[in-house]
Chain A
């Protein structure tokens, strides 16, 4: 599912237009991005939580050329799946469709 398919599904399940559904979906992800930018965590009960993790700088290597590269310190978002969604996902019993996970 892509963002536009999510927007279509929201419009189909509610009585709002696609245009308004799009504004809502964008507003949700924009406000989440903004919170993460400010270093703030996000907790969506049932879905999961996002935290910002600080990574220290390290000396790495370009795996292709073996050349040493300096990787600067960085911040990355980390997602931890919530209990309800974890259980829903774990209950999937059919094997993966290979074309979904190339």
Chain B
């Protein structure tokens, strides 16, 4: 599934949008999510899951190829924790 498939679904299911408008609003949703993650660092979508920005401290690593020790700098990473509802949906007996 790609963004184009999601746009198609919004166009068909929600109705009242031209294809262009459907594309624009889907784009806006993802833009807001990206912006919010950089400023608020957390998005909670009930029934789907949580996206959380986590801070990683500087640590020592090793280049697996050369075995040379290297410093892995402090950085931020994004974690996704699926909600119980989504996990259950993926493991339903009938596969649906």
Contacts and interface: CB of A to CB of B under 8 A. Distances in A.
Interface of B is mostly: mixed
Given A24-B10, A74-B91, A86-B78, A100 B46 contact: no
Interface residues of B, number: 52
Interface residues of A, number: 54
A6 B37 CA distance: 11
Contacts of A47: 30, 33-34
Contacts of A1: 33, 36, 40, 42-44
A32 to B, nearest CB: 7
A76 B32 CA distance: 26
Interface in B41-91: 41-49, 51-55, 75-80, 82, 86-87, 89-91
A59 interface: no
